[in-house]
Structure 1
Amino acid sequence: MSNPSQQIVQRLWNYCNVLRDDGLSYGDYVEQLTYLLFLKMAHEQTRPPYNRESPVPKGFDWPSLMAKDGDALETHYRHILETLGKKKGMLGLVFQKAQNKIQDPAKLRRLIVDLLDREEWMTLDADVKGDAYEGLLEKNAQDTKSGAGQYFTPRSLIQAVVEVVAPQPEETVCDPACGTGGFLLAAHDFVARNNKLDRDQKKHLKKEALHGWEIVPNTARLCAMNLLLHGIGDDGTPPIRVEDSLNGDPGERFDVILTNPPFGKKSSVNVVNEEGEQERQALTIVREDFWATTSNKQLNFVQHVKTLLKVNGRAAVVIPDNVLFEGGAGETIRRRLLHECDVHTLLRLPTGIFYAQGVKANVLFFERKEASAKPWTQKLWIYDLRTNQHFTLKANPLKREDLNEFVECYKPGNRHARKSTWSEKNNPTGRWRAYSYEELLQRDKVSLDIFWLKDESLEDSANLPDPDVIAGEIVEDLRTALEQFEAIQTDLARG
């Protein structure tokens, strides 16, 4: 993050600590900033050199807020949020179900006048204000109480993934579980930074290239504002849809899909049974375009991503370990995926890099291919960044340079020039090796949960990861076991 961005984040965050004394959470604060920033920037665009018509109706705009004080300000602010939340387009997305969480009118006035009005946000470079907002989102993700971390993918990982997938100027990029928009932003920045774009390509990149779905309205709001502050989209049509992307096939197809679907394996809902007792029932998604019917959300997202891809389109999907080894529907999906797509790369991620502690995840890279009797996958290349690697969010966070060897091994420009770094005789600690399609089929349940490096922590207690990492892994293992028991209980109750 640049120095101007850091200064803005620090200034805004210092005031958050004042508001927290009144019971405002980090998430509440970022949300209120989003509303007010939108109103301020919309007003700035009505003045030179922009001279645009404001998307915000007169009387509900920034000048109307500046003209109020005391209880009248708090009342008017609530009225603005309620009114704009009923509008369509970007207004409706940003202000949907918006509520004022700042109950002290004096503190609301100070936030409006002393912090936000003093800055000309439209004149700030998109990188500065965008990075500043990203900084606030990351601070919010670090607050474990808010649970916002589940929507925040480490930016170092996103950068490496986007670099190897390498979206191009005229391609469309989709994230069907976009969170706060990290993958979409990185794709935009990669295209803009690595290409000399003509006028039409710039317009396409800003208004047509990026598409996202987000099921949580509050998160979709943050994503829309994040994109807007980075100069993506406009005040009219938002690039984000607030709905469950798994509900059905939207009919659209995309060149590139980059996504980290939400953690948690089973889709379920609370219902009241015939005895009047509340119980959880698994939500099994039935779609004709899916290879298998399952309540496992992550397996459903893998199938959904395949549907969304154009022929020869490429995907990178963050998945938990269970997608690699689960039987039943999991095995069916893996077999079909290996046959109908070119599943060429798997990145095994270390623990300790996500804000949801203990998560064991991977990035699966594949390309959709046209129908063929012959399987498209020939080799699956695996890079093990997990074994004997210990990261923590604070003391030793994952940095972009930690993924340098993976990016180099991937050979983004020419995947057919890959060479293994592992050799049983010459380099038994190599982290990069390939498995043939035939070898994968011979594995139990076609499991892709493959590792070959010796775990040093099993032999030497001095190499054990930090206690918080071990605790996080235990919590994740217990959570997974509990979900499996709940699934068994549900099946037994049905039977």
Structure 2
Amino acid sequence: MSTPETRRLVAKLWNYCDVLRDDGVSTIDYVEQLTFLLFLKMGHERANRKSFPDLALKPVGDAWQSLLDADGQELEDTYNHVLREFGQRKDTLGVIFRKAQNRIQDPAKLKKLIADLIGKEQWSSQGVDVKGDAYEELLAKGAEDVKSGAGQYFTPRELIAAMVDCVRPGPDDTVCDPACGTGGFLLGAYDYIQRHHSGDLTPEQRDRLAGGGISGVELVDGTARLAAMNMLLHGIGKPTGRSLIEVRDALAEPSHLYPSVVLANPPFGRKSSITVVGEDGRAGREDIEYTRQDFWVTTKNKQLNFVQHIASMLGIPGRAAVVLPDNVLFEGGAGETIRRRLLKQFDVHTLLRLPTGIFYAGGVKANVLFFDKKPARPDVPWTSTLWVYDFRTGQHFTLKQNRLTRAHLDDFVTCYRPGEPHHTREETERFKPFTYDELIARDKVNLDITWLKDPSLEDADSLLPPDVIAREIVEDLTAALAEFTAIAEALEQTKDRPGDPDQPPEED
């Protein structure tokens, strides 16, 4: 939650971004450099405090002092040396500085950032919520830099809060995000547990919560460092301990964790940069080969692979809430196979159709799919009823003039009835149930279900602004292109397969 102190810190640091932008430093690069320097400064404070100094952070404290003592070319050389040295470590510190580079080529501006903007604040004395929230706001501002593409790693915190409120993680849960971006879902789960259980947490629960009960995986080095720093600033993990953010491709191998809660917004995009070999024995060849025999079907579609990965890694009992683009709901071939398996083997109980204009990385219409994993029962499908909440029809948001707020999602969370049996739910205009038999009978088990009419299409007096209309046209064309691409790939995959190419995949 933003406070006056949070806003002061953000304003102080952000004002300097405009100066550096003139030198070609992008918004996300600036946030990344702040990450390095904030960590060094806080390490210096903690290593040199009068009461109980953290001796493990002495090398960090010495590194910060060396930056304070240097000027000009010596400062630039010293900074580059520090980045290389810490980037070789195997702990959280190593994740933060992994492949780090100095993007501020003017030593005078680097000195101002070190000595004035960061150096004059006592960051360790700030409350965790203040400095953590300040960093969250900086990440949000970084996501607004469309040219850098950083928005693809940032899920709106209002949506995260609603998803977490529905899933209700507890102190005994293990929470994981296999595509964690800057760590928003992990922090949302941590905050929920702190707000609802802080008074009755045992010492063991506190230690587990801060030291491994919440973890994530991120492929991109720069984003992983932002997540690791974000976690530390919120009191999760230790600088010189094992990193709770793993830097690797989550799809490359089965998870070694089986969390009870998975919250995720996998990256949007058509293809994986790797080869997947599913239990059907076929491979989609790209750059790197590996085998995932725990997958139901082979596909190059990244989102479909993440659905399979999350289904495989989820513990029993387990709860998942995943942001997915529309094509996952309607795509034929592998998509149909995965939906059939998911409905049969998991309790797929809720689908939230999201409105346009809420993501920094636009162009794809998205949904949130909620499903639970329970002990196997081969003869009876676990899904009995899928409740669909249409929050898209008639809803139009933008990132500036009409932003999504948590209050906009109150009705959905109320309809969801967190913690209550699903059979106690009640149908509303926007919230409708569909039985397993109804879903299976739909063409290709299409879950892209809608029944509301957009009032703006019927009422000439409620026409949308031109910019909203233009954006929705782009999103519709993007969705259509995704569907045509899926059809082309499905035809390519069936080209060499014996038998009728129009025959649906066989089920076990």
4+ residue segments displaced more than 2 Å:
54-60, 265-270, 280-286, 415-422, 460-495
Counterpart of 2:83 (choices 81, 87, 92) is: 81
Shift of 1:419: 3.2
Aligned twin of 2:403: 397
Q: 1:481 to 1:421 in 2, by over 3 A?
A: closer
Q: 1:43 aligned to 2:44?
A: yes
Counterparts of 2:327 and 2:17 in 1: how far apart (Å)? 39
Kindly provide the CA deviation profile for residues 303-329 of structure 1, in whole angstroms up to 9, marking residues without a partner as x: 111111111200000000111111111
1:51-450 aligned at under 5 Å gives the runs 51-55=53-57, 57=59, 61-195=63-197, 196=199, 197-235=201-239, 236-268=241-273, 286-372=291-377, 373-416=379-422, 418-422=424-428, 430-450=429-449
Shift of 1:479: 3.9
Aligned twin of 1:7: 8
Asked whether the 8 Å contact 1:349–1:386 carries over to 2, the reply is: yes
Kindly provide the CA deviation profile for residues 268-295 of structure 1, in whole angstroms up to 9, marking residues without a partner as x: 589xxxxxxxxx9598975211111111
Counterparts of 1:25 and 1:260 in 2: how far apart (Å)? 24
Could you tell me the TM-score, scaled by structure 1's length?
0.92
Asked whether the 8 Å contact 1:284–1:295 carries over to 2, the reply is: no
Aligned twin of 2:20: 19
Asked whether the 8 Å contact 2:364–2:478 carries over to 1, the reply is: no
Q: 1:260 to 1:465 in 2, by over 3 A?
A: farther
Q: 1:466 to 1:176 in 2, by over 3 A?
A: farther
Asked whether the 8 Å contact 1:43–1:54 carries over to 2, the reply is: no
Shift of 1:60: 5.4
Asked whether the 8 Å contact 1:93–1:238 carries over to 2, the reply is: yes
Kindly provide the CA deviation profile for residues 51-80 of structure 1, in whole angstroms up to 9, marking residues without a partner as x: 111446379511111111122111111111
Asked whether the 8 Å contact 1:39–1:56 carries over to 2, the reply is: no
User: Secondary structure of the residue that 1:435 maps to in structure 2?
Assistant: strand
Could you tell me the TM-score, scaled by structure 2's length?
0.90
Aligned twin of 2:278: none
Counterparts of 1:482 and 1:238 in 2: how far apart (Å)? 39
Asked whether the 8 Å contact 1:359–1:473 carries over to 2, the reply is: no
1:463 counterpart letter in structure 2: S
Aligned twin of 2:34: 33
Q: 1:478 to 1:417 in 2, by over 3 A?
A: closer
Counterparts of 2:250 and 2:294 in 1: how far apart (Å)? 14
Moved more, 408-417 or 27-36: 408-417
Counterparts of 2:468 and 2:65 in 1: how far apart (Å)? 50
User: Secondary structure of the residue that 1:174 maps to in structure 2?
Assistant: strand
Kindly provide the CA deviation profile for residues 24-74 of structure 1, in whole angstroms up to 9, marking residues without a partner as x: 110111111001011111111112234111446379511111111122111
Asked whether the 8 Å contact 1:9–1:132 carries over to 2, the reply is: yes
Counterparts of 1:415 and 1:475 in 2: how far apart (Å)? 40
Listed as ranges, the gaps of 5+ residues in structure 1 are: 271-279, 423-429
Q: 1:453 aligned to 2:441?
A: no
Counterparts of 2:43 and 2:209 in 1: how far apart (Å)? 22
Q: 1:399 to 1:24 in 2, by over 3 A?
A: same
Equivalenced residue count is: 479
Q: 1:470 to 1:110 in 2, by over 3 A?
A: same
1:165 counterpart letter in structure 2: V
Kindly provide the CA deviation profile for residues 455-489 of structure 1, in whole angstroms up to 9, marking residues without a partner as x: 22322344344433333333344445555666738
User: Secondary structure of the residue that 2:237 maps to in structure 1?
Assistant: coil
User: Secondary structure of the residue that 2:368 maps to in structure 1?
Assistant: strand
Listed as ranges, the gaps of 5+ residues in structure 2 are: 276-284, 497-508
| Sequence identity (%) | 57
Counterparts of 2:267 and 2:395 in 1: how far apart (Å)? 24
1:120 counterpart letter in structure 2: Q
Counterparts of 2:296 and 2:343 in 1: how far apart (Å)? 12
Counterparts of 1:48 and 1:54 in 2: how far apart (Å)? 15
Counterparts of 1:29 and 1:167 in 2: how far apart (Å)? 33
Aligned twin of 1:426: none
User: Secondary structure of the residue that 1:61 maps to in structure 2?
Assistant: helix
Kindly provide the CA deviation profile for residues 412-433 of structure 1, in whole angstroms up to 9, marking residues without a partner as x: 12133533343xxxxxxx1111
Q: 1:476 to 1:114 in 2, by over 3 A?
A: same
Asked whether the 8 Å contact 1:316–1:366 carries over to 2, the reply is: yes
Counterparts of 1:59 and 1:409 in 2: how far apart (Å)? 51
1:143 counterpart letter in structure 2: D
2:418 counterpart letter in structure 1: P
